[in-house]
Structure formats: C-alpha cells, structure tokens
Amino acid sequence: MAKVVKVQTEFEGRFYEETIVVEGTEVEPWAPEQPLKLVGRPVPRVDGPEKVTGRARFTHDVRLPGMLHGKILRSPHPHARIKRLDTSKAERLPGVRLVLSHQNAPEIPWFRGQTRLFDTTVRYVGDEVACVVADDEETAEEALRLIEVEYEPLPFVVDPERALEPDAPRVHESQPNNLVNGEPEVYERGDVQQGFAEADVVVEGVFRTQTALHNCLETHGSVAHWDGDSLTIWDSTQHVFGVRFQLARALGLPLHKVRVIKRHMGGGFGSKNQAGKYAAIAALAARMTGRPVKIVLDRFEENLATGNRPATIQTLKLGAKRDGTLTAIFHKSILNAGAYAVWAPSASGPTKRLYACPNVRTEDWAVFTNLGPFSAFRAPGYVEGTFALESMMDELAKALGLDPLELRLKNYAEIDPITNKPYTTKGLRQAYERGAQLIGWAERAHTKRARSKGPKRVGFGLASQIWGGSGGPPAYALVKLNPDGTATVVTGTQDIGTGTRTALAQIAAEALSFPLDAVEVELGDTQWGVYAPLSAGSMTLATVGPAVRAAAEDAKKQLLDVAAQLLELPKEGLRVEDGHIATPKGERLPVAEVLRPLGNFQIVGKGARGPNPDDKNVNTFGAQFAQVEVDVETGEVRVEKIVAVHESGRVVNPLTIRSQLYGGVIMGLGYALLERRLDDPRRGLPVTPTLETYKVLTVADVPEIVAEMVDLPDPEANPIGAKGVGEPPIIPTAAAIANAVADALGVRVYELPLSPDRVLAALRGAQAKKDEEEGEEGEAS
C-alpha cells in the first residue's frame, strides 16, 4: 500500500526533509553469505557492443526530417543591462527561420526566479541573450554576428571575498547581500571554544581550491519535436523525469504531454542533473517554427554556461590532546557560487562527520558573483572539503609526532557524529588496513631514503572518504516475462555511462534465475518507463536496483503460479533454474516450453523501492594512499602510485565498479595537479574555456592505480545490499596526493592544483621563514 511519509534524505552529502510516497515491495534481503550466480561476477557491459560499433545513439546523433539548428547569442559582459536589441538583419539572412529573445519569448522564470529564460539583465559572460534558429549551424552562427545589442555595463564582482563586503556590487539587485541563502549555513555541536581551551596542540591553516570544469565528452544539448500538442525531447540528461517536470512547468503543459528520451550519454558528472535553458529554447523554437529543432553546445559554451566545481577558500582549525584525541574543529568555507544558485555544496560536510570529535563548528558561506553558475560536480563540496580537512589532519599528526594513519584510527567514528546513529556497515577500518598494505605504508621511511636522490624527493600520503550513497524511494520497475522465456526490465532511470544497464540486468537475471542473455533492460524514456529519480549522489543502483529485484521476484512468483497450473503440480515443489522450470521429479523444462499452451501473453512483475532504515545511517567509506616524486628544482609533482580501497556494500559487478574507481581517481588526479579555470578579474571573463587552454590529464599522466573494494554486503541498507560508488573514489584523491607532496617536501602546499609554481613558492616561503628564525636566534645570542 502506498504511504505518504516525511523522511530525512541524504543527497549530494547533505540532509533534506522530504515528503515522499513509499510503496516498498517486501523482499527478503540477500544474506551476505548467500551464494549468488550472477551478482558479484565481472560481467562485461551489455551495451558495450553498441558503443564500440557506433550503434549507440546519443542526443548528438539525433537527426529528424526537416530539423532546424539553434545557436545561442551569449553576453560578452559579466554584468549589464540590455538597452537595445535589433535582430532584423539576422532575420533577413537566407536560411534563418526564427530569432528568439526577450522580445518574443514568454517570460519563463529560471533558477527559481533569479533570472528568466531570456532576461534583460545579464549577470555573467555567457548568459543567454538570444537564439537563432536556421536550416544549418553555419547559417545560425553567421546570423548571430548580425544581431545588434547595446549594453549598459553594470558594476560586477568575481572575487567571493570582495563580494561579501558591504559595498560590493550586488549580483542580484533585489537582494540585500550576495549570500546565496541570505546568510551562512552554520552547524555546531558541543562548545568549540571550550574544546580549543582543552587542547594541548592547535593547528590551523587556510586552503584554496580552484574552479574546475566538467568537460563532458558529449556536450549539453537537446532536440525538440512537437506532434500536435505533445512534445518529445531528446536530451543529454541525468534525469529524464526531472527534465519532463521542469519543461512541463516552464511551458505550461500537462506532464503526459511531455516525453523525454535519453538512450546513451557521454558524461555528465552532475552538470546534467537538471534541464538546461537550451532544452526550453529548443522546445519553444520547435513550436513556433513547426519543425524539429536541435541545440547542442560547443566546447566554448560548455565551459562558460553549464556549471563548474566552484572555487573555495577554507579556514581550518583543529585542537587535540597529546595522545591525538580531537577536542575541537572549526571550519569556515567561502564558496564562489557564480551568478545563479538554488542550493550550495557544503565543503564542511566531511568535517561534521568523518571523525569523532565532541566540539565542532562549521560555517558555509555560498556567495553570488558575476561568473558562470556552479553545478553539481561528482561529490560536490566533499572533494574540496576533504582536501582541506585531511591536509589539516596530517599537519596535526606532524605537530603531535604521530603516524597520520594512527591519528585517524584514534578518532575513528563508530557512530555517525551528526545523527548519533550506528552505521549499517562501515568498512573504513578494513580500507585503511588493506590500503596501507598495498602502498607499503609501514616501509615508507625506508622507501623514501632509498628513492630520494638529487633534487627528487619521494613522499607518501593518505586520506579518508565518507559519503552518502544510500539511495531511497521512490523508484519503480517492471519486469515483463515473455512467452519465449525472455524478460524485459523497464524502469525510468538512465545509464549515464556507469554500467547501470549491466548491473540491473544482473540483478534481474539473478532474481528470476534466468540466463543473463535472456534479460533486456529498457530505460531512459519517460513515455513507457516507470518513475525513477535522477542519477546523481551515487544513488542509482541503491535506489533502482532493489525495485528491479522486487519486480523480478514478483514476476518469478507469478511464473511459478502459472507453471504449477499448467503442469498440474504443487507450486511448492517447483523452482526456476537458469531459465528452466525444475520439478520434484528432476525434470528441467524450458520456460518457453512450459508457457507454450498460453500463446501470446505476458507476465508483468511490479517492484518499488522501500524506505531506508530509520535507526541507522547508510554511508559509504574509503581510503586512498598516494606515492609521489617531487622535483625540488622544477617543482614538478609526479604521482607514481595511487591505492584506492572503498566500501560501498555489496559488489554487484567488480568490472564496472573497478571502472568507476579508476575514473574517480583519474578525475581526482586532474583536480589535484592540473585542472584550473582562470578568470580575468578586470573583465570578469574566463580565459581558459577550451580544452586547448584548460589542461586535463592524458593517458601519459596516469600512474599505477591499484583499486579494490571491501566487499561488505549491507542487507540493512536495502534488499540487494549495495550502496553507491560513483562519487566516493574522487573524494580523497587530491587530499592523499597533497599529503604525499607535503611528506616529500616537509612543507605544505595550501592551494590546488599542486602546480610547479606553487610547489616552488612553498619551498621559498619555508626557506625564508627558516632564514628569518635563524636571524632572530643570532640576534638574541
């Protein structure tokens, strides 16, 4: 029975109070020791052949008869008012079918009313001004150059600290300040001042992280087509049902009149969690022209207007007893949210809950500036916050003369410090132990002495990871059994490149006792798919997987009911085995043979995701270890080895999980060493908006990566025992590398990326400080 309940949901590392519909299907969880035939096996991706042969259809591949192409005119100013807009020359260009702007488009609110689809005030370089729709992209681009716009430049601010000053220009004129929520988000437990008073050692530092860009291989884009009063959108999205909801509301349509399709996607990493303006513009243009319209962004636009991992400035202060017991933590984060935001990541998330500490205060200051708006980016807030917190933990270990791993184990949290609830599973201790073994932690002093020669210094570092990944309701699935002994799984989730199709096929085949090649998974379409939430927050498998299993169990139960009647045998003695009905007499009859008398029909099993446990926390954990070599003459950092050991419940597919671990680590490496969007503070203009100027890792930059899972099935989390793994592997990578660099140099670099100039600056600063201290000692003597 469906119930409306209020629950506390953890998503993207934050807690939310939600009212949801829960219609969980009662399914006995797979026991941790239960032998499974398909779940837990390294199955190659079921859609692999489609991708390597080019048959996989991405949004960029959609081509419809009579399709037009749209190109968007974007603001060259960080803050300006549009005084005059003349599109007449563009409209007269042969091949141009429509020019959309605030002059002829409906006033559709965007970012919850902070702006409109086409606004007369632009707030960052890249803000949408107009859109040309033409027969081809080349004509549309030529027409953009014919649009005449007169702007009134307005004061702007790009530095978040400057934006906090009382006299700073307002990004949104109607707001009293530039804070996203009007005030900082503050969390506190215990008495921080008292905690620092009780500390024997106090360390503090200021850390800075850069703006990083998603650079999805497939850029953002949509194709819109109307059939009467019904709209179909092909969208590169992480949430087909979310895009449907947003577009229906924006265009004033009933939900059943909007269909969203996403077969395959070339990366999203959080930037495609919601509908983009381009989707609404394409839909409007298609309705006004009566023809399909395609708008896909180029790389320049992608890096201006589709989001980023925002830059942060973080102040950390830790206090501890001589034995390493934490007594107090203070963490203040200032985050550059850009021009628009409806939520903000919490860089202090790990600080609140990673370690057992009685006295903690955190402040998250999310600040509007006249730069491109941020968006979710693979573990938003936690990557930045873990870099600062874990760096500070190593500084504390150094001040106390303790092994950094020993300090972390000393403050190991057996229960969640925020909720005071126990965890369903926590494999962090096992991750520490295995990771230390694989990196050679106990022998690192010997390795450093043997390997550090000339200007090269070798160092080791580690960092811890905590994240959500619990998933939760609502999510639904259908499993259709066909009379030929095959099955089709139907759900409204989406595979964003993580192997969701494969994992769901394994779960369904396991529950049905069917061969894997007899199971097809259909997803990514709101028209016939049943509801599933967005693919983000490491929640897809833990959310949709239990619904698929429940639907498969329901379908199998119905199959046995039917088989018992057709075979005139007691149901209790029948079993399904590898696509056959096994009888008490030892017979194994193919399902297709048993069902043949029924002709053309279908059994439909239904499943829904049940609620998470109320009395326990469901979280994921992990630890990473890094070995680096640093050249003290050039400042170059070379990562030699990364060991990543994570716990995310049951391992459904070791092959796809290993791919996730590698991908997360590689993305974390790029964040630690290379990636950085540079902005011109005088013009408010990003100066590295292409892959020619924005550096990402190449294959040659990737070191040895050893990735393992602590396979710890979690039957209390959900009936399949799995938790999310998409985001955990990126969280501790930069922190582990930074700690290894500090170990190699004996000097901390407080800013990412760890570029050669920053390494050399840290060394010069340390030398200058040493010279100054020696000079003072000499004067005193």
My answer on whether 136 and 23 are in the same domain is: no
Show the domain range for 433.
425-470+614-781
Task: Name the band, by pLDDT with cuts 50, 70 and 90, for residue 597.
Answer: very high
pLDDT tops 80 at residue 654: yes
The Cα-based distances of 647 to 465, 643, 660, 709 in angstroms read 10, 14, 13, 6
Task: Name the band, by pLDDT with cuts 50, 70 and 90, for residue 652.
Answer: very high
User: Can you tell me whether residue 282 is helix, strand or coil?
Assistant: helix
My answer on whether 286 and 368 are in the same domain is: no
pLDDT in tens, 692-728: 999 999 999 999 999 999 999 999 999 999 999 999 9
Last residue of a domain, one of 247, 271, 296: 296
Residue 532 included in any domain: yes
pLDDT in tens, 189-214: 999 999 999 999 999 999 999 999 99
Residue 28 included in any domain: yes
Residue 302 included in any domain: no
My answer on whether 437 and 488 are in the same domain is: no
My answer on whether 146 and 244 are in the same domain is: yes
My answer on whether 451 and 353 are in the same domain is: no
Supply the pTM of this predicted model: 0.97
Last residue of a domain, one of 608, 624, 648: 608
For the chain, give the percent of residues with pLDDT over 70.
97
pLDDT in tens, 214-244: 999 999 999 999 999 999 999 999 999 999 9
pLDDT tops 90 at residue 373: yes
Residue 102 included in any domain: yes
Task: Name the band, by pLDDT with cuts 50, 70 and 90, for residue 13.
Answer: low
What would the mean pLDDT of 446-457 be, rounded to a whole number?
95
pLDDT in tens, 544-579: 999 999 999 999 999 999 999 999 999 999 999 999
pLDDT of residue 19: 74
pLDDT of residue 780: 74
My answer on whether 680 and 725 are in the same domain is: yes
What would the mean pLDDT of 478-499 be, rounded to a whole number?
97
What would the mean pLDDT of 621-638 be, rounded to a whole number?
98
**Cis before 719? omega within 30:** no
My answer on whether 130 and 226 are in the same domain is: yes
Residue 167 included in any domain: no
Element (H, E) at 340: none
pLDDT tops 70 at residue 17: no
pLDDT in tens, 271-297: 999 999 999 999 999 999 999 999 999
pLDDT tops 90 at residue 647: yes
pLDDT-wise least confident of 31-35, 72-76, 431-435, 459-463: 31-35
Phi first, then psi: what are they for 353, rounded to 5°?
Answer: -140, -5
The closest of 664, 377, 367, 365 to 537, measured between CA atoms, is 377
My answer on whether 39 and 186 are in the same domain is: no
Contact predicate 719/542, CB 8 Å = no
Domain count, the chain: 4
Phi first, then psi: what are they for 458, rounded to 5°?
Answer: -105, 140
pLDDT of residue 25: 66
List strand residue ranges (DSSP E) for 471-577, in order: 476-481, 487-490, 519-522, 575-577
What would the mean pLDDT of 356-368 be, rounded to a whole number?
98
- Burial class of 32 by CB neighbour count within 10 A (0 to 12, 13 to 18, 19+): middle
My answer on whether 273 and 334 are in the same domain is: no
Catalytic site residue from 10, 23, 727, 751: 727
The Cα-based distances of 67 to 63, 135, 142, 423 in angstroms read 7, 7, 18, 53
Last residue of a domain, one of 240, 267, 296: 296
pLDDT tops 90 at residue 646: yes
pLDDT of residue 771: 84
My answer on whether 432 and 541 are in the same domain is: no
Distance CA 64, CA 540 (A): 31
Residue 461 included in any domain: yes
Distance, CA of 755 to chain centre:
25
Tokens of 176: 């009293």
pLDDT tops 70 at residue 88: yes
What would the mean pLDDT of 305-325 be, rounded to a whole number?
98
Distance CA 335, CA 346 (A): 9
Distance CA 85, CA 72 (A): 14
Give first-to-last CA distance, the chain, whole Å: 83
pLDDT tops 80 at residue 130: yes
636 is catalytic: no
Residue 301 included in any domain: no
My answer on whether 519 and 567 are in the same domain is: yes
My answer on whether 228 and 206 are in the same domain is: no
Bridge partners (DSSP) of residue 520 are 488
pLDDT in tens, 18-39: 676 666 667 999 999 999 999 9
Task: Name the band, by pLDDT with cuts 50, 70 and 90, for residue 739.
Answer: very high
* Residues shown for the chain: 781
Task: Name the band, by pLDDT with cuts 50, 70 and 90, for residue 40.
Answer: very high
- The set of residues, in sequence order, having a beta carbon less than 8 Å from that of 318 and lying 6+ positions away, is 202, 203, 204, 326, 328, 329, 392, 393, 395, 396
Residue 163 included in any domain: no
The Cα-based distances of 181 to 168, 176, 279, 412 in angstroms read 17, 11, 27, 33
Task: Name the band, by pLDDT with cuts 50, 70 and 90, for residue 779.
Answer: confident
What would the mean pLDDT of 605-623 be, rounded to a whole number?
96
Question: How high is the mean pLDDT of the chain?
Answer: 96
pLDDT tops 90 at residue 773: no
Residue 229 sits in a domain whose CATH number is: 3.90.1170.50
Output DSSP code: residue 77.
Answer: S
Residue 559 sits in a domain whose CATH number is: 3.30.365.10
